[in-house]
Structure 1
Amino acid sequence: MSHDLQTRERQRIDEAIASLRIKFVDTLEERILDIEALLQYCRTAENRSRAFQEIARKAHNLAGVAPSLGFDAIGDAAREAETIAGDASADPATVIQKVETLLDEMEVVLDQDAV
């Protein structure tokens, strides 16, 4: 492959990744609202297990996507939230703390994007 062709191909890849990053950031506010609603739902013991399972699922998705788009802090926080939210024996206060850390990381990206 010629150097010019390689350069153009790399540029197309970079543009595609930039587009995916924009789409990801565009979904963050909705994702934050979903997770916050689940946190509210889990305040009662009867709903907690189901809410934590759903949070773990959402965090799993974020943990997979965020780092591949360059959002490593979200990925790290999501991985931690997924692990603890999926642990039935975890202290609920600790789960909530990890999930709030994830929300904070997501909001940092939104705030940076707004500037």
Structure 2
Amino acid sequence: MKKILFTILVVSASFALKAQELAQDQNPNYKVSMDKYTAAQATLQTTMNTTVQNTYTAYDWRIAKSKRKAENRSYRRERALSNQYYYNNNYGYRNNYNQKYYRHRCR
């Protein structure tokens, strides 16, 4: 059992070492490209995570909550002002006008 495990370990290690080597024609200019970008690494990272227009703003949940509340208030107000289907009239059940059975009596 130990011989089999040792053989499997040696074979897998040899395959792993062979996989790390670069093939003859795989990418002949990789070294030139790697040297170019490692030399310019500092200048490339100065503009990382920024936008040209500086449009990024930090997210603040309190400001977002207040904006949502204001939008909801204005939406409800606009909806109430434009709600013409259920207008207030004096017809129908419990119209609070001349109802002798539901009239409040003075004490």
Q: Same fold (TM over 0.5)?
A: no
Task: Name which structure has the greater RCO, CA cutoff 8 Å, separation 6+.
Answer: 1
If the length of structure 2 is used for normalisation, what is the TM-score? 0.30
Scaled by the length of structure 1, the TM-score of the pair is: 0.28
Greater per-residue helix proportion: 1
